[in-house]
Amino acid sequence: MSHQLPTIIVFEDGKAVDWRPMLGSNKKFVKYVFTEENIKRDFGMNRLYDESLVKCKKFKKGKKEE
């Protein structure tokens, strides 16, 4: 049996801000069910997507002005 765990890590500004699975207070992994719904909810994917759109628009605006 493999001891590998699927892992998702979200980085913001080059720093890991959230990940699953995570260690609980007893130093054991907290069970996590990887479903699309859970990932969107737990990682705030809708918020991250909206923020990335705003950043892209600002970046494109800056490029046009040069």
pLDDT digits (tens, 9 = 90+) for 5-50: 788 999 988 999 999 988 889 999 888 899 989 999 999 889 888 9
Please report which confidence band the pLDDT of residue 66 belongs to, taking 50, 70 and 90 as the band edges.
Answer: very low
Residue 48 lies in a domain: yes
Residue 2 lies in a domain: no
pTM above 0.95, yes or no: no
Alpha helices in the chain (DSSP H): 36-43, 45-65
* Dist. CA 66–CA 61, nearest whole Å: 9
Residue 51 lies in a domain: yes
What domain range includes position 17? 8-65
Residue 46 lies in a domain: yes
